[in-house]
C-alpha cells in the first residue's frame, strides 16, 4: 500500500490552500510500491525538499540535513576536519570559491574557480552537492583524491590531499616596516563568529600605534555574516550607508554604519582576488564607493546575494536567498564582482607577493 499525505507525519502543517499535490503523491506512492531498492522515507522527504529548493536555479538556495546544518555551523565557527575549501554549485557544477589560507587544499594547489570533476573516483555529475561535500570531508589524517578542471588548462588535474583539522582564526595582523614607515597588515580569512572581536582588538592597536597606513587582505576570503561585514566597514566609513539590500520586489533598504569610524584618517588599501566573495565584496565595495580605501588586486568572485538560514523542526535547515546586495552607489555585486582600483594579477609559482607589494607602494606613495 502506498503512503499518502495523511500517512506521513505532519505533512499538512502550514499547507497553502489551493494547491494540488496529487501528482507528487502519485509519484511518491509509485516509488514506494514499485522500487526494488526499498527507498528510505526520510531520505525521500529530504530529497523532495532539496529538489524543491534547486528548482529556483540558485546555487545559494540549498537544503541542509541535520548533519549538514551542524557542519555548516562548525565551518562558520572556525573549526572542522577536511581539506579547507569553500565550494558552491555554479552553473550546475561544483566550483571552488576559494581554498582557505594555510589549508591542505591551498598547499596542494587548489585555486578559486576550479571545477571539481571527481572525488575519490566518483564523478561529481552523478551525485548531489551535499554528497560531494561529504566525500571531500573526512577525519584528520585520511587522504582524498580530487580531480579538477581549470580554465586555461587543457587536461584535468588530480590532487591527493591529506585531510587535517582546519582551525580558522579569522583575523591576524602584523606590522610591516618599510622605508622608515610603519604599516599595519591585517588578514581577514572569513567573516565568522570570532571576527568582530578580533578586528576590534586590531582596531584598538591601530588607534594606539597610529601607523602610516593599513593594508586589509581579503584575498580568498569566502565571506560570512552580513552584520560582521558592516561592522568592519564601519571602522573606515564615517556615517551613512555601507550596503544596500534589495528585496525580491526591488525595494531598497540602506544598511548604515554601526560603529565610530576610528580608522578613517589612516590611508588604507584592500587586497582582493577571485576568491574574495560575499561579505568580502560588501566590505571592499563599501570602502571603494565611500572613498575610504584603494582596492588592489583582481576582480572579486561576484556573490552578492543575501541568504537567510532557517532552522526546521528536526534540526535540518533551509538556506534561502531573500535579497541581493548593492554597493552604497547602487552597483550590483552578484555575478559582476568588485573591480579593483589598481589591477594587478598574482604571479603563479612566485616567491614574491606582487599584490601586497603594490599595497605597500600605495601606502608609501599615495598612488
Reading the block at residue 286, the C-alpha cell is 563599501
> How far, in Å, are 14, 22, 48, 56 from residue 28 at the CA level?
20, 10, 10, 22
**Can you name the residues that pair with 296 across neighbouring β-strands?**
271, 342
Phi then psi for 90, rounded to 5 degrees?
A: -120, 125
**Can you name the residues that pair with 59 across neighbouring β-strands?**
none
- Residues with a known catalytic role: 278, 303, 307
Phi then psi for 53, rounded to 5 degrees?
A: -70, -35
Whose CA is closest to 189, among 262, 97, 126, 303? 97
- Residues 219 and 100: their CA atoms lie apart, in Å, by 10
Four-residue CA torsion sign, 132, 133, 139, 140? positive
Whose CA is closest to 141, among 109, 107, 104? 104
Whose CA is closest to 119, among 101, 140, 105? 105
Reading the block at residue 270, the C-alpha cell is 584592500
Cβ atoms of residues 245 and 216 within 8 Å: no
> What angle in degrees, to the nearest 10, is found between the helix axes of 226-234 and 279-289?
30
> How far, in Å, are 226, 231, 246, 278, 367 from residue 255 at the CA level?
10, 11, 11, 16, 30
- Residues 219 and 5: their CA atoms lie apart, in Å, by 49
Q: How many CB atoms lie within 10 A of CB 5?
A: 13
Cβ atoms of residues 195 and 172 within 8 Å: no
Amino acid at each position: 500500500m502506498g503512503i499518502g499525505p495523511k500517512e506521513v507525519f505532519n505533512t499538512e502543517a502550514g499547507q497553502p490552500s489551493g494547491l494540488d499535490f496529487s501528482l507528487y503523491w502519485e509519484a511518491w506512492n509509485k516509488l514506494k510500491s514499485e522500487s526494488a531498492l526499498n527507498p528510505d522515507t526520510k531520505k525521500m522527504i529530504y530529497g523532495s525538499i532539496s529538489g524543491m529548493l534547486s528548482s529556483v536555479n540558485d546555487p545559494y538556495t540549498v537544503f541542509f540535513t541535520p548533519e549538514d546544518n551542524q557542519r555548516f555551523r562548525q565551518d562558520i565557527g572556525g573549526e572542522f576536519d577536511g581539506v579547507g575549501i569553500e565550494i558552491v554549485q555554479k552553473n550546475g557544477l561544483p566550483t571552488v570559491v576559494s581554498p582557505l589560507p594555510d589549508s591542505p587544499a591551498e598547499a596542494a594547489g587548489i585555486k578559486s574557480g576550479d571545477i571539481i570533476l571527481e572525488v575519490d573516483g566518483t564523478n561529481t555529475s552523478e551525485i548531489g552537492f551535499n554528497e560531494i561535500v561529504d566525500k571531500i570531508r573526512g577525519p584528520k589524517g585520511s587522504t582524498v583524491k580530487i580531480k579538477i578542471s581549470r580554465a586555461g588548462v587543457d587536461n584535468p588535474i588530480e590532487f591527493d590531499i591529506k585531510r587535517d583539522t582546519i582551525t580558522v582564526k579569522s583575523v591576524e595582523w602584523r606590522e610591516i616596516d618599510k622605508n622608515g614607515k610603519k604599516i599595519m597588515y591585517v588578514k581577514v580569512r572569513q567573516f565568522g563568529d570570532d571576527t568582530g572581536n578580533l578586528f576590534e582588538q586590531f582596531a584598538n592597536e591601530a588607534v594606539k600605534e597610529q601607523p602610516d597606513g593599513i593594508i586589509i587582505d581579503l584575498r580568498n576570503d569566502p565571506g560570512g555574516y552580513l552584520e560582521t561585514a558592516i561592522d568592519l566597514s564601519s571602522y573606515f566609513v564615517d556615517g551613512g550607508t555601507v550596503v544596500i539590500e534589495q528585496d525580491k520586489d526591488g525595494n531598497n533598504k540602506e544598511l548604515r554604519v554601526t560603529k565610530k569610524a576610528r580608522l578613517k584618517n589612516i590611508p588604507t588599501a584592500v587586497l582582493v582576488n577571485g576568491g574574495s566573495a560575499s561579505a568580502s565584496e560588501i566590505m571592499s565595495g563599501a570602502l571603494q564607493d565611500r572613498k575610504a580605501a584603494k582596492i588592489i588586486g583582481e576582480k572579486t568572485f561576484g556573490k552578492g546575494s543575501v541568504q537567510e538560514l532557517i532552522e526546521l523542526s528536526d534540526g535540518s535547515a533551509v538556506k534561502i536567498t531573500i535579497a541581493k546586495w548593492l554597493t552604497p552607489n547602487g552597483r550590483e555585486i552578484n555575478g559582476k564582482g568588485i573591480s579593483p582600483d589598481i589591477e594587478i594579477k598574482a604571479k603563479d609559482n612566485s616567491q614574491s607577493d606582487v599584490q601586497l607589494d603594490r599595497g605597500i607602494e600605495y601606502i608609501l606613495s599615495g598612488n
